[in-house]
Chain A
Amino acid sequence: MFFNKTAEQKEAAKKMKEIVKSNKAIIKKFEDEKKRKNVPASEYQTAMKNPDNILEIDNLHTYFYTDMGVVRSVNGVNIEIPQGKTVALVGESGCGKSVTSMSVMKLIMGPSGQITNGAIRYNRASGPIDIVKTPISEMQHIRGNEISMIFQEPMTSLNPVFRIGAQIEEAIMLHRPDVPKSDLKAQTIKMLELVGIARAEGVYASFPHELSGGMRQRVMIAMSLCCNPKMIIADEPTTALDVTIQAQVLELLRDLKDKIDASILLITHDLGVVAEMADYVVVMYAGRVAEQGTAHEVFLNPKHPYTIGLIKSKPVVNQLVERLYSIPGAVPNPVNLPNHCYFKDRCDKCIAACNGAIPELKTLEGGHKVACHLYTQGGH
């Protein structure tokens, strides 16, 4: 009885085998490409579309080849980050925000996760490069040095067996040969003080588990700033923290950004944080950009029904609401994405065109862009 599979089960097993087989072939192609040694610099050198940008993400596709099928986590995303500005990336969980940021650092977990298409142009001092084509050996000079990252989970992002001081020193030692060994400790303590840690000497000699979540996140920030990066990617830096600490950490990030004149890519699902910090906002939905523009524009004049929903579902102080609004439904399964607008099934403003092709990003007045059929025929 156990061996008699139904026709459906057989079908599913067969399908899965096919998926695994095709995945293997695709992954091998990408992994072989990664293994290539001595990639000439000319291969990844490029030109910026706009020299004022520090980073341009152009038509980025990051897929995960799983046994259940291809997960299209990032599916054609375009983001520009101007020098010295803060760009916020917003969306629900599972929209591909973190994957986008990991792609910039080339930290996508292989072999199943691969950047399959697109370009990430980074305006390096020595000339712009395309991160997608840059070999890992070269990326190691960029990671933590020119582009650094603050992760979502301060509780687990520090190595439990090394002291805080050693973990920060490691990065300084790696990227800043100009700092002599004798000054390492002083420099590290200076960094810890910079992020507002009161007893920096004590924290320097502590293990991560001896610190609170807020302190650990400060340590993470200190670590990411220790080499004066040109760009900071902050992946939900305050999600795991309580509100007072959250405000302090954001304040800190904003101050530091001005001090070292860095650009920030801020990933969050908290619109309050966006309003506080961002110059530009990119709203992502199911691996695609739904709307983007200046923070001012997107907040005061949201166009995409998804953005409108997001803003509506944010609790407002001093306003009595019977029940907080939430967008009905959930983000579609990224394995079987529909071939119409991904938001259609949750949208309350559907029109006939919504059953057609997936809407492209259209520019409205003032650089405000939106991907929605409501705006394709010159407005609604």
Chain B
Amino acid sequence: MWQYIVRRIFIGMFVLLGVSMIIYGLIRIAPGDYVSNLTSSNPEVTQEMIDQLNELYGLNDSIPEGYSKWLIGVMQGDLGTSFIEQKPVTEVLSSKMWFSFWMAFPAYILQILIAIPLGILSATKQYSKTDYAVTTFALMGMSLPSFFFAALLQRIFAQELGWLPLSGMKTARMDYEGFALVMDMARHFVLPVMVLTVLGIGGLMRYSRTNMLEVLKEDYIRTARAKGLSESKVIYKHAFRNTLIPIVTILGGMIPGLFSGSMITEGIFGIDGIGNASLAALRGGDIPFIMGATLFMAALTLIGTLVSDVLYGVVDPRVRLK
């Protein structure tokens, strides 16, 4: 098992190397770098100043040169300094990722609590009215664009009813502290969490439903019934434990992704998380931050797949990792 994990991490390093190379190349080719963004609207800037700025931000280096400088920095644990924030990238990432996390984590828990029971309910009552209702609801959630659903919620809960704040992370000019601050921020996170939850339920619910249906057709379920077990024991013990195998695997794999933020939802609700910051960095040509954020997300994805592989071995006695 340990050997397996170490090998996977080793392979992961090479994947990250490839990812960072491609991203670096792409950003450098893309038009509108940081210095030209900064200077284009100012007629008093001279060519000399531009050259100097380019030199300062390392934009005069060729792509391979720039990349190797960045890579050497990373090797020494230095992701560089964000152009826009003028702070070390690691510092920016570690402060913003918690906002993303506290937005994604409640949504993740709610998704699990809602989607799995719904999936099982509609599987055990396949082709009934309940099944159709649940499936329709889930599909609607899945196919709603997040910006539309977010706007809808803002309209209803913030503008019409006035129950919840429209956007942002805390109420302006109210210098809350301690518990009051936490409560105030929680109120601001309700709508984004709702959006993420509703969008995520569909997929997870369909997944549990399909898995449950498949398991219910298995021979060992028939054996369980033939033993004389009650229908609830058959479903919630014998079938559910088997349905959990693939579900736990994907859920475990989702955990690292909770830190990676979501651009659209964060953007709409003005949550100052990783997604929002990456979008700003992309617009502004903030190379160190884009590189740092991309590397961070790629690493989270790799950890996610690793976690789900390891969990597979934990929940399914038939699987032993080598």
User: Which residues of A line the B interface, CB within 8 A?
Assistant: 105, 107, 111, 136, 139-145, 148-149, 151, 153, 156-162, 170-171, 174-175, 207, 209, 220, 223
Contacts and interface: CB of A to CB of B under 8 A. Distances in A.
Nearest to B216: A109
B222 A161 contact: no
B228 A175 contact: yes
A270 B230 CA distance: 34
B18 interface: no
B245 A107 contact: no
Nearest to A143: B228
Contacts of B226: 105, 107, 143-144, 148-149, 151
Nearest to B319: A209
Given A156-B220, A209-B317, A162 B228 contact: no
Contacts of A157: 219-220, 222-223
A174 B318 CA distance: 27
B228 A174 contact: yes
Residue of A145, A157, A158, A223 with highest tally of chain B CB at under 10 A: A157
Given A136-B231, A153-B219, A160 B224 contact: no
A186 B241 CA distance: 26
Contacts of A156: 218-220
B111 to A, nearest CB: 24
B101 to A, nearest CB: 32
B231 A145 contact: no
Q: What is the interface of chain B mostly: helix, strand, loop, or mixed?
A: helix
A200 B146 CA distance: 57
B223 A207 contact: no
A341 B194 CA distance: 66
A148 B229 CA distance: 12
21 contacts: A107-B225, A111-B127, A139-B228, A140-B229, A143-B227, A151-B222, A156-B218, A156-B220, A157-B219, A157-B222, A158-B220, A158-B223, A159-B224, A160-B316, A160-B317, A162-B241, A171-B228, A174-B228, A175-B228, A209-B317, A220-B223
A136 B228 CA distance: 10
Contacts of A148: 226
A212 to B, nearest CB: 15
A153 B317 CA distance: 20
Contacts of A142: 228
A160 B245 CA distance: 11
Contacts of B28: none
Contacts of B242: 159-161
B221 to A, nearest CB: 8
Interface in B37-53: none
A291 to B, nearest CB: 29
Nearest to A102: B222
B227 A160 contact: no
Nearest to A224: B226
Contact of A161 (B227, B228, B230, B245): B245
B238 interface: yes
B227 A151 contact: no
Given A160-B317, A161-B241, A209-B317, A145 B219 contact: no
